[in-house]
Amino acid sequence: MANQETQILDDIVATSRRKMLTFGLSSLAGLVVGASAPLAKAATAYTDADILNFALNLEYLEANFYYLAAFGTTIDKANTASTGAGAPLITLSGTVGTAGTVSGGSKVPFTTIPVASYAIETAVEEGKHVQLLLSALGSAAVAQPAINLGTSFQTLATAAQIPGGSTFSPYASDATFLVGAYVFEDVGVTAYHGAAPLLTSSANLMTAAGIMAVEAYHAGLIRTTINYLDPTGAGIGAYTNLISTLRAALSQAGLLGVAPGSYDANPDDFGLATFSVSLGGDVNATATRLTDADSTNVIAFARNTTQVLNIVTGGGAVMGTTHISPATGVFFPAGMNAGPNGFK
Amino acid sequence: MDKLSTLIDRGLSRRKFLAGAGASAGTIAALNLAGCGGTATMTSTPPTQTFTDADILNFALNLEYLEAQFYLYAATGSGLASYDITAGSASPYQVTGTVTKGEAAAVPGLTSAQQQILNEIAFEEQAHVRFLRSALGSAAIPMPNIDLSFFGPLAVAANITTAATGAGSFNPFSSFDYFLVGAFIFEDVGVTAYSGAAPLISPAGVAAGYLTAAAGIMAVEAYHAGYVRTSLTGRAIAAGSAAAYPYLGAANLVEDLRATLTVGDSGAPSTASSVETLLALPASLTSPSSIVAASASSAVGFARTVDQVLHIVYGSPTVGVKSGGFFPNGVNSIFATTTA
């Protein structure tokens, strides 16, 4: 894998620009339609670097959340806890766009080893993703944008109709931390899933697929743990349904009225509520939903960049049937950073 | 969605590749094989093969048949429906295989929550079988012979013994904890198999959505792997020590065996030359867990070549092997013989 990683920069440089319209993939549905709608951006050429920079914005968000929750610090400032865990100290070397600050967030007063140890592991891994993408992109890397990890959660929790949402904090307890983590992980899977087929370099594709697998491991971890703590869905298990419903609604709006593709069924998100399945010939049974995937083919969902932007900005990417760029709001109060042809 | 057979008819997806090429080159495989006491019958150069996207998806279908049968038996005591295992009319393989059940049976003593989880995974692997069969249409292979009694010999090879683990003889259908170890055999491998196969899909296959589908199935395998690893870790933490929960150690012995069988990248788990990450038992609120199987340097998930996957499911590190382990008559695939 090491060779593959060191090849990434070369591949990005060597990758030729090409038109979005040459791809008929479902994951591009929202963007492709823009070519016939008032969206000059849709015919713009983009590169693998633009796609990896989109991912880098998301990794900045995730890594800072987990660093704050696990260690009480951001990714660019080491403390005893982060150093002790072997979490990488990130040099914020990205320069494209406008650098911002990270607001909100604090160390979770963990009381159980499983949740604390998962938080630490995930922080370290998301930190490595930031490090990898920064290294791969080099001077083409975007700066860390302004990130809100405080009031953003109350805004989302309120929109999701979580009881007491206006005071919800993912930093309050082991349980609320899991809910906060739940907000991110399935989205990471769908974002990499939507982006992977757009990459032209096979080395980049391998890396994106590998990161996507890690996001899915994390998502499986979070969903399993919530299910274990609340198997009947009376508490935080029910919150997952509310969050998934909100994400599905924001994602659908991000399609800008276009029908979803083969693997973009709507709703494209499921919480942990059980569902009925038929096993073997005709054995009917009740199943958990530890996997976030469609109920027919059980293929994880894919989302295009507008759908992802609309989720992480709480609806900031769409006004009616118009794509708003840069999308701002919730986790990205000043929007993501991107190159001239990138996604924000 | 287009049927793959349509693509093949158009002649769009045929191309050449070195069998087993992918994450690692044949020369590296040869060196490592010698280092782990492997065979002296190495071929000097892997044969050149022509393959189609249908061949890739059919290879995956062999693995999905295996996983689906395992989980369905564990969840319900019986396997795939007869209509889910037959041959497509254009497949060169026309004999529908059978399952050697061994000790396969519904896992006893499950809580309601545990039963629902087994139901979910069984359903999802069954759905993957159906999806691939539907996508392949007439090109779909039938289920090959599958041997679910191979868990016993595998446990011996992995040194999962009563003496080593204190957990009694290994039978994944005997308890929830041993079921988790059985599931553990497959899930990380499924992730790496799809991750390794995805880049082999042709441009026409990418345009038809097969890369997206493969990536999406890979993610589901990773969700499952995350579930299994989280459960083993969480139950070990709850038990209080590795000695009190020997199944974590048993899973790590499985990893050791998988690592040995990953010809070409067969370093010990959690070392730089391996595609395995050992499970850990976090001892305090400041220790990390080890749920994710990924590179220690960059936290990128692993990939395996077709050849490496074959070595694991056949239970053999030897080159030129075309059957064994879970597939006593081999997989129904042009890739059926190990090449390195």
Residue B25's pLDDT band, with cuts at 50, 70 and 90, is very low
Closest Cβ opposite residue B285 in set A113, A298, A301: A113
- The residues, ordered by sequence, that sit 6+ positions from A340 with a Cβ below 8 Å of its Cβ are none
Q: How far is residue A49 from each of residues A58, A199, A203, B195, measured CA to CA in Å?
A: 14, 9, 13, 21
pLDDT higher than 80, residue B5 = no
Q: Which residues of A236-251 are buried (b: 16+ CB within 10 A; e: fewer)?
A: bbbbbbbbbbbbbbbb
Spatial separation of the C-alpha atoms in residues B19 and B80, rounded to whole Å: 31
Q: Which residues of B touch A301 (CB under 8 A)?
A: 216
Q: How near does any CA of chain A get to the CA of B72, in Å?
A: 7
Spatial CA neighbour of A298 closest among A275, A314, A327: A275
A50 near A339, Cβ under 8 Å?
Answer: yes
B234 near B279, Cβ under 8 Å?
Answer: no
| Amino acid at the residue A72 | G
| Amino acid at the residue B85 | I
Q: What is the pLDDT of residue B208?
A: 87
Looking at residue A332, the DSSP 8-state letter turns out to be: B
Contact yes or no for B209 and A263 at CB 8 A: yes
Contact yes or no for B117 and A221 at CB 8 A: no
The token duo for A13 is 């440089």
Angle at A238 between CA A235 and CA A243, to 5 degrees: 125
A317 near A324, Cβ under 8 Å?
Answer: yes
> Do β-strands A147-148 and A102-103 pair in parallel, antiparallel, or remain unpaired?
parallel
Residue B164's pLDDT band, with cuts at 50, 70 and 90, is low
Q: Where are the alpha helices (DSSP H) in B107-245?
A: 112-136, 151-157, 162-165, 176-197, 203-207, 210-239
* pLDDT tens digits, A125-158: 999 999 999 999 999 999 999 999 999 999 999 9
pLDDT higher than 90, residue A266 = no
Spatial separation of the C-alpha atoms in residues B182 and B71, rounded to whole Å: 10
Q: Which residues of A touch B212 (CB under 8 A)?
A: 25-27, 193, 196-197, 262-263, 302
> Do β-strands A322-323 and A318-319 pair in parallel, antiparallel, or remain unpaired?
antiparallel
Closest Cβ opposite residue B216 in set A85, A277, A300: A300
Cα-flanking dihedrals φ and ψ of residue B208, to 5°? -80, -5
CA atoms within 13 A on the CB side of A226: 31
Mean of the per-residue pLDDT values for chain B? Answer: 84
* pLDDT tens digits, B66-124: 999 999 999 999 999 999 999 999 999 999 999 999 999 999 999 999 999 999 999 99
Spatial separation of the C-alpha atoms in residues A342 and A45, rounded to whole Å: 9
CA atoms within 13 A on the CB side of B18: 12
Q: pTM score, two decimals?
A: 0.87
Residue B166's pLDDT band, with cuts at 50, 70 and 90, is low
Q: Which residues of A touch B300 (CB under 8 A)?
A: 1, 5, 132, 207, 210-211, 214
* Mutation site, A224, A226, A276, interface B, largest B CB count within 10 A: A224
Spatial separation of the C-alpha atoms in residues B165 and A6, rounded to whole Å: 40
Residue B2's pLDDT band, with cuts at 50, 70 and 90, is very low
Q: What is the pLDDT of residue A263?
A: 59
Residue A264's pLDDT band, with cuts at 50, 70 and 90, is low
Residue A260's pLDDT band, with cuts at 50, 70 and 90, is low
Spatial separation of the C-alpha atoms in residues B259 and B266, rounded to whole Å: 5
pLDDT higher than 50, residue A218 = yes
Q: How near does any CA of chain A get to the CA of B2, in Å?
A: 11
Query: How many CB atoms within 10 Å of residue A2?
Result: 11
pLDDT higher than 70, residue A12 = no
Residue A9's pLDDT band, with cuts at 50, 70 and 90, is very low
Q: What is the mean pLDDT of residues A204-222?
A: 93
Residue A321's pLDDT band, with cuts at 50, 70 and 90, is confident
Q: Which residues of B touch A1 (CB under 8 A)?
A: 23, 295, 298, 300, 302-303
Contact yes or no for A189 and B272 at CB 8 A: no
Q: Which residues of B88-116 are buried (b: 16+ CB within 10 A; e: fewer)?
A: beebebeeebebebbebbebeebeeebbb
Q: What is the pLDDT of residue A112?
A: 96
Closest Cβ opposite residue A290 in set B81, B112, B227: B227
B108 near B158, Cβ under 8 Å?
Answer: no
Strand segments, DSSP code E, in chain B are 15-18, 48-51, 99-100, 146-147
* pLDDT tens digits, A92-127: 999 999 999 999 999 999 999 999 999 999 999 999
Q: Which residues of A touch B23 (CB under 8 A)?
A: 1, 4, 206
Q: What is the pLDDT of residue B271?
A: 84
Q: Which residues of B touch A174 (CB under 8 A)?
A: none
Residue A203's pLDDT band, with cuts at 50, 70 and 90, is confident
- The residues, ordered by sequence, that sit 6+ positions from A134 with a Cβ below 8 Å of its Cβ are A56, A90, A91, A93, A94, A141
* pLDDT tens digits, A35-75: 222 223 444 689 999 999 999 999 999 999 999 999 999 99
- The residues, ordered by sequence, that sit 6+ positions from A185 with a Cβ below 8 Å of its Cβ are A215, A218, A219, A222
Q: What is the mean pLDDT of residues A327-333?
A: 96
- To the nearest whole percent, how much of chain B has pLDDT over 90? 66
Burial of B164 (0-12, 13-18, 19+ CB in 10 A): middle
* pLDDT tens digits, B170-216: 899 999 999 999 999 998 899 999 999 988 888 899 888 888 899 99
* Mutation site, A299, A301, A303, A304, interface B, largest B CB count within 10 A: A299
Q: State the maximum Cα–Cα separation within chain A, in Å, rounded to a whole number.
A: 58
B62 near B304, Cβ under 8 Å?
Answer: no
Spatial separation of the C-alpha atoms in residues A255 and A37, rounded to whole Å: 13
Q: What is the pLDDT of residue B322?
A: 95
> Do β-strands B146-147 and B99-100 pair in parallel, antiparallel, or remain unpaired?
parallel
* pLDDT tens digits, B8-18: 332 222 222 22
Q: What is the pLDDT of residue A8?
A: 38
Contact yes or no for A224 and B76 at CB 8 A: no
Spatial separation of the C-alpha atoms in residues A53 and A195, rounded to whole Å: 11
Q: Which residues of A touch B75 (CB under 8 A)?
A: 279, 285
Spatial separation of the C-alpha atoms in residues B146 and B73, rounded to whole Å: 13
Which residues on adjacent β-strands are paired with residue A126? none
Spatial separation of the C-alpha atoms in residues B76 and B81, rounded to whole Å: 12
**Residue A295 DSSP SS3:** coil
Contact yes or no for A293 and B237 at CB 8 A: no
Q: Which residues of B touch A124 (CB under 8 A)?
A: 288, 299
Cα-flanking dihedrals φ and ψ of residue B15, to 5°? -160, 170
The token duo for B297 is 């340097």
Q: What is the pLDDT of residue B165?
A: 65
Contact yes or no for A193 and B219 at CB 8 A: yes
* pLDDT tens digits, B224-267: 999 999 999 999 999 999 889 999 999 999 999 999 999 888 88
Spatial CA neighbour of B128 closest among B181, B178, B185, B62: B62
Contact yes or no for B128 and A128 at CB 8 A: no
Closest Cβ opposite residue B289 in set A2, A121, A214: A121
| Amino acid at the residue A123 | A
Q: Which residue has the higher pLDDT, A222 or B208?
A: A222
Contact yes or no for B237 and A114 at CB 8 A: yes
